[in-house]
A and B are shown apart, each in its own frame.
Chain A
Amino acid sequence: MKQYTSFFRIRFLAGLQYRAAAFAGVFTQLFWGLMELMMFRAFYLFAPEKLPMDMQALCSYVWIQQGTLSIWNLWGWEPALFQAVQTGEVAYELTRPTDLYAMWSARGFATRLSRGLPRLIPILIVGSLLPAPYGFRLTISFPTFCAFLFSMALTLWLCVSICLVCYSLTFYLTDYRGIITFVPALCEIFSGDLLPLPFFPPVLRRIAELSPFGSLQNVPLRIFGGNIAGAQLFGAVGLQLFWCLTVTVLGYSLMHRGLRRTVIAGG
């Protein structure tokens, strides 16, 4: 275990050194959040009674979404790992007395947390300075907040596991560019990144919620906005847990089958 925690540490510390990237990230997310709010404001002025979330809940959703973006954005994966598989650089990692899957998972967690945590606080601070109903407001109870944290942790786990499935698929393909175009596109729609899932038509919404992508940001953000509560909350978190386990097993077996048939060409 020490092997993997040490790996997590070095990766986490390495991730913290990119100050310009963190600054740019905060700025982009603030701007993006404001744009989203302007769009939703138009909706609400037009027909507030037809919409599934009230404006304040939606605004908190948007701010916490922007604040935690780097934790669950699928396309925040590491191109270096795709390249490592494609070019054979992975050879070195295979000469270590460690498990590649566990190693790359530790790396995924570290990268995401080191990117996510420094961006979270400034965004929430700026968000909470905005006037109601556009600002960020912490209105939920303490137990709900705990449920939110737990659900966010599962989101992080699921996100890392989906990335590992994608890295592992590279063992079977000549080029990884197909994966990095196709999977994020799916994810953007079905995870509620483009539009929160409650705004979807019922059938599509159900499909999205049941898909693995629906167990990403959708659940914690809606718990935070008060949109998922009670029995529904347990169901949603249970489904998250199910997808975490399933996708982890899938990624693990894909990687190990891939490694068995792998050929690392050249000197």
Chain B
Amino acid sequence: MIEMKGISKTYRVRKREAGLGNAVKALFSRAYTEVEALTNMSFTIPDGQIVGYIGPNGAGKSTTIKILSGILRPDKGECTVNGMVPWRDRKKCVSRLGVVFGQRSQLWWDVPVMDSFCLLRDIYRVPEQDFQRNLNRLRQQLDLGDFLTAPARTLSLGQRMRCEIAAALLHSPDILFLDEPTIGLDAVSKLKVREFIRAENRDRKTTVILTTHDMQDIDALCSRVLLIGKGRLLLDGSIEEIRAMAGENLSTEESVADLYRRFGI
């Protein structure tokens, strides 16, 4: 269970007009602007749901994920993940969490994938039998077969992403954050990843929060969608509701684009 109540986060960003004169001026006095990344964000996600978290670039999606995983502390508001405050109880809280950032890697670049997996086993203190069982299951479902012994740098993006997802699930987390897990993947890999996420949610009741710009991911997986823009929650509903709002016969992609325009985000 994830609860966010009135969460706000403001970043201080250094600003400077272009040009030499302004650059010299900035050496002596620095100007900052406040950027509101999240404003009064509230939602509740019960166990076992797959939620699509969508919005244009810069809407505050990553900020939300980072607050939920204890990396950032918000300026205002309350938030609990499995009854714990992530930034206060970080270690305990994140041990029940799996995270995949599609644009970053958690595998060690120049050692075999299996070594990274063993390290994660020790980091999360997974008992050996559980680890072996999980590993076998993930190996089958994600089709990891023969590349666990290869160094991560030699894998294709599709292979690597499947390993990344497996790496996030070795400690059987209750909650999985997926930040653009299908970015850059070919059709076959995309389908495999989606199918796996669906099975994981169905069989193990894992709560999944998926941020993505790929509306087919949303179509295929999410029963509920949170739409955010400029740091605010704009819409909370099912895909059908979103498509109904946008008008007749539009695809999910077009409906969402239409809503972005309508909300002016």
Binding site for B on A (CB under 8 A): 2-3, 6-7, 10, 13-14, 17, 88-89, 91-92, 94-99, 260, 262-264, 266-267
B260 in the interface (beta carbon within 8 A): no
- Complex CA–CA separation, A206 to B181 (angstroms): 57
Range of interface residues on chain B?
35 or more
Contact pick for A96, options B62, B115, B123, CB 8 Å: B123
User: Which of B95-103, B139-147, B184-192, B241-249 is the contact stretch?
Assistant: B95-103
Contact yes or no, B123 A266, CB < 8 A: no
Contacts A13-B111, A96-B123 supplied; 19 other A-B pairs, CB < 8 Å: A7-B119, A7-B123, A10-B108, A10-B116, A14-B110, A14-B111, A14-B115, A17-B110, A91-B101, A92-B104, A94-B69, A94-B71, A95-B69, A95-B71, A95-B97, A96-B124, A97-B123, A98-B91, A263-B11
Contact pick for B118, options A6, A88, A92, A99, CB 8 Å: A6
Contact yes or no, B108 A14, CB < 8 A: yes
- Complex CA–CA separation, A97 to B122 (angstroms): 11
Chain A residue at smallest Cβ distance from B167: A92
10 contacts between A and B (CB under 8 A): A6-B122, A7-B119, A13-B111, A14-B110, A92-B105, A95-B69, A95-B99, A262-B72, A264-B71, A266-B62
The number of inter-chain residue pairs (CB within 8 angstroms) is 75
| Distance to closest chain B CB from A133 (angstroms) | 43
**Overall SS of chain A's interface:** loop
Known: A264-B71, A267-B179. Contact between A91 and B104, CB under 8 A?
A: yes
Known: A6-B119, A10-B118. Contact between A92 and B106, CB under 8 A?
A: yes
Chain A residues, CB < 8 A from B115: 10, 13-14
B48 in the interface (beta carbon within 8 A): no
Contact yes or no, A267 B124, CB < 8 A: no
- Complex CA–CA separation, A91 to B106 (angstroms): 10
Contact pick for A10, options B72, B104, B119, CB 8 Å: B119
